Amino acid sequence: MNIFIRKILLFFLLVGAILTSLGFITLQVIAPQYSLGYNAAIIDKVEKLKNTTSPKIILVGNSSLAFGIDSPYMEKELGYPVVNTGLYGGLKNEFAENVAKENIQPGDIVVISYITYSNDSIISNPGIAWMTIENHYELWHLIDKKNYENMLKAFPKYILKCFRMYLTHAGNADSGDAYSRIQFNENGDNIFDRPETQLSEDYFAGADMPEIDEDSIKRINAFNQYCLDHGATLVIAAMPIADGIYTAPKSDYESFEKELRDKLDAPVISNFTDYFIPYKYFFDTEYHMTNDGVRIRTELLIKDLQKYLNNNN
């Protein structure tokens, strides 16, 4: 390598190092700007998980759990403290599992309930990931390293947004709707009042069947072994299934449930067809429940866990 090329490479390395340093200095100064956003609830969920004694129930999943569980009711019926770590499917299932790993102890029951099991680790919108972790460096390890390159590319745009919010005092504001950090209770449930559906029946025409892929099978089975190694038990529970004229036949869900039972090492504790719940109990997506829908789904999960515990204690 001649001296000229070596100097060019050194120049670009120096420029990159300077820009990266300036970016993270800026991050330290102006962030967080999304501290009251929906995804910032992960801060409280992780803190709750770390500070909850075992044995406990850890709910692992996406926004279907955040908008679908009454954890205090579960605690009353099951006699275990409950931590609902469910947040946002766009962060991917591996993120949800990494959150749970923050405090899995002997005697814990870890409950996976995903909207789909075909879910790689690549976050399609790295800007959302930045809005979630911001400068909470203790949370950065929750993001799989496969996302680092895309997050680095998205970093300048995120910083510019933060800088504008910082200058205009628009940051760290409550949205005033369900998608706010302050709408979560201490267990991690979203408790924004949702008395009735906001969806028309036609909305459900676009609902997809859940799937599972080989990568997810390997990852979940490895997670199952992680739980066993820490003295905990991993189980698989059904998600709520919006039931109406556009819903796939029950036989399709029975086949999917069988596939999970055949391919996953962790026991499946639900009959998926029990979780067919009428459209009117879904709030603003086919995954988020109304107030009454939360109670229906929570009672189904309590029943499944009671049956499992009675058969295995």
Q: Does CATH place domain 32-312 in 3.40.50? A: yes
Query: What is the tens place of the pLDDT at every residue in 125-140?
Result: 999 999 999 999 999 9
Does 120 score more than 80 pLDDT?
no
Tokens representing 84? Answer: 């609902």
**pLDDT for the residue numbered 160:** 86
This prediction has a pTM of: 0.93
Residues 68, 240 contacting (CB under 8 angstroms): yes
**pLDDT for the residue numbered 20:** 64
Tokens representing 99? Answer: 């959150």
Which residues are paired to 164 by β-bridges? none
**pLDDT for the residue numbered 31:** 86
pLDDT class of 7 with cuts at 50, 70, 90: low
Q: What is the rounded average pLDDT for all residues in the chain?
A: 93
Query: What is the tens place of the pLDDT at every residue in 153-194?
Result: 898 889 889 989 999 999 999 999 999 999 999 999 999 999
pLDDT class of 22 with cuts at 50, 70, 90: low
Does 34 score more than 70 pLDDT?
yes
**pLDDT for the residue numbered 3:** 67
**pLDDT for the residue numbered 308:** 97
Does 287 score more than 70 pLDDT?
yes
Does 212 score more than 90 pLDDT?
yes
Query: Given the DSSP bridges, would you call strands 241-243 and 276-278 parallel, antiparallel or unpaired?
Result: parallel
Query: What is the tens place of the pLDDT at every residue in 53-99?
Result: 999 999 999 999 999 999 999 999 999 999 999 999 999 999 999 99
DSSP 16-71: HHHHHHHHHHHHHHH--S-TTBGGGHHHHHHHHHHTPPSS-EEEEESHHHHTT--H
Does 237 score more than 70 pLDDT?
yes
Q: What is the mean pLDDT of residues 16-30?
A: 69
**pLDDT for the residue numbered 18:** 57
